[in-house]
Chains A and B, each alone.
Chain A
Amino acid sequence: MAAPARATPPTAAAVAAAVRSGATTAAQVLEQHLAAIAGREPEIHAFNLVLTEQARERAAAIDATVAAGHDPGPLAGVTIALKDNMCTRGVPTTCSSKILDGWQPPYDATVVNTLRDAGAVIVGKTNLDEFAMGSSTENSAFGPTRNPHDTSRVPGGSSGGSAASVAAGFSQVALGSDTGGSIRQPAALCGVVGVKPTYGYVSRYGLVAFASSLDQIGPFTNSVADAALMLDVIGGHDPLDSTSIPQPHPSLRDAIQQGVEGLRVGRITDLPAGADPDVQERLEAAFDALRAAGATIVDVEVPAFTFGLTAYYLIAPAEASSNLARYDGVRYGLRVEAADTHAMYGATRAAGFGEEVKRRIMLGTYALSAGYYDAYYGKALKVRRLIHDDFDRAYQRADVLLTPTSPSVAFKFGDKGDNPFAMYLCDTYTIPTNLAGHPGMSVPFGTGAEGLPVGVQVLAGTLQEPVMFRAAAALERSLA
């Protein structure tokens, strides 16, 4: 059963304005979300952990700040859910894996500090595919998250809990991480906005690493304006992340005030086939909407787009196999006792990692091993260059590109069966962006089969977030 459409929630900016002015309190805002969690969380399972008491203390502190005549910040009283691969000091951070059992990080991720400083209220840590490896949140050691629009279907993944939290009204906004589509695809399947910024736009300090040259943090929101606000707050240079871009970012809230008159919107003529007809239809409607708003539609080619999936499934597992070597039962999390260290490593990792994580560690270790490095990993890095360069040529002719976000609407649990590649195909349209390091976002754009949400993906070149947001805002306005 598809759930009835929710009333349009207030924007994060409106919530913050009301809290800052005293028109409402952070406590009142929080209680509404806690009530929503009490109502549907048992069914949805968006969270690994709901931080009820900490959130209440935090909301009270924000209200006290307002009462004392001080400003709690641009996200005053805005509730937020964090994907459970972002470190929170003294609060379990699991990556939905058994191997981090019992671990409480001794530090906060930079985004966590930034959000607190801006007045946000963290309501909980959300479920994900183990170590962010998956496209359905079925690969969680703690059980799947369900799609709020239809609980017989997946929310997408890997940031499925964060997407579901926003879609179900459990939090105003959420943060996820996107390595190959893990923000954009669940955003599309849950009918919310999801943004993967340019690599380096948001600090990764305290984000548990999956594939370090691809991972990027970004927001889930109900609106393009909320996403702009979130990135304006969490974006920027962080000396603690050596890949963080050392320059300020222009205001995206300002950018979305501009229209798309004269904007060149690219249609990728050699995009890999595979999108369902209902998704394709919404994409065509999106081109029409931007044309009607004054944009020009141009044809472009990105020939190497089609090799994205193959290159990604060598590069991401290779980086993951290296990053996940640290889970060895020595410093944190699970340990399976054994007679010597080597036996302990092997037994701990066998017991702690799930099947998909093991598969990727194995594939990555193989691709990096002596004799195969050049044949697989080395070649994949060259294909990555081709993809990057093909996009660059396309962006000489177009300011943004439009594609489907996901080839289909939300699918049923178990639909992808035992064939790992069937699941990987969910990310056909999102992966090339991560390889290129470019920004991309999914904007809800109506419904497809069974009345389920469809997302349209807007892509742009490096640090072209302002123009990407202009197109996204125009798509959103066209539906109003």
Chain B
Amino acid sequence: MSERISAADVAKVARLARLDVTAEEIDRMTSQLDGMLEHFADVDALDLSEVTPMTQPFALVNVFRADVVRPCLDRDEVLASAPAAEDGCFRVPPIGGEG
């Protein structure tokens, strides 16, 4: 195993990703992610110092919509699919618990 990624890294990444994971999942993900990152070794061997990163396949810049008022989504229809709503807003559990 190349040990590109540790169990502590995985636990930290899970927190960043807002994903509850069990100890067993951390073990399995550590091994699987390490295996996948191992494949990156062939890319590590490339000299990429002169290469410009490519972020999008078809370069369009400054795409603006026409500045006209259009109908927007119906609020009641949107809130009808929410897990909880109140007074025309999304309702969530208390914020600022252990944060």
Contacts and interface: CB of A to CB of B under 8 A. Distances in A.
Contacts of B95: 340-341
A103 interface: yes
A231 B7 CA distance: 47
B29 A383 contact: no
Interface in A353-377: 353, 358-359, 361-363, 365-366, 369, 376
Interface in B49-99: 51-58, 60, 63, 65-66, 73-74, 77-78, 80-84, 90, 92-99
Interface string A322-364: 0001001111111101111111111101100100001101110
A307 B42 contact: yes
B55 A386 contact: no
Contacts of B24: none
Which DSSP category, helix, strand, loop or mixed, fits chain B's interface? loop
Interface string A237-261: 0010011011000000000000000
A361 B73 contact: no
A338 B93 contact: yes
Nearest to B60: A243
A339 B97 contact: yes
Contacts of A353: 19
A101 to B, nearest CB: 10
Interface string A79-114: 000000000000000000000001111110000000
A52 interface: no
A135 to B, nearest CB: 15
A362 B14 contact: yes
How big is the A interface, by class? 35 or more
B10 A362 contact: yes
A309 B33 CA distance: 15
A199 B81 CA distance: 31
B83 A330 contact: yes
A337 B93 contact: yes
A165 B65 CA distance: 37
A382 B51 contact: yes
Contact of A381 (B44, B55, B60): B55
Nearest to A200: B58
Contacts of B60: 200, 242-243, 245-246
A328 B18 contact: yes
A341 B21 contact: no
Interface string B23-47: 0010001001101110110111010
A366 B9 contact: yes
Interface string A126-165: 0000000000000000000000000000000000000000
A459 to B, nearest CB: 14
Nearest to B59: A437
B62 to A, nearest CB: 10
Interface in A407-431: 419-421
Nearest to B76: A106
A380 B40 CA distance: 9
B36 A349 contact: no
A366 B65 contact: no
Given A342-B18, A385-B54, 7 more contacts: A243-B58, A339-B93, A340-B98, A369-B16, A376-B40, A386-B46, A420-B35
Q: Which 8 A-B pairs have the closest CB atoms?
A: A437-B57, A340-B97, A335-B83, A381-B53, A350-B20, A346-B20, A385-B54, A382-B51
18 contacts: A102-B81, A106-B81, A213-B56, A242-B63, A310-B39, A328-B18, A341-B95, A342-B98, A343-B97, A349-B17, A362-B33, A369-B12, A384-B54, A385-B51, A386-B51, A421-B36, A435-B54, A436-B57
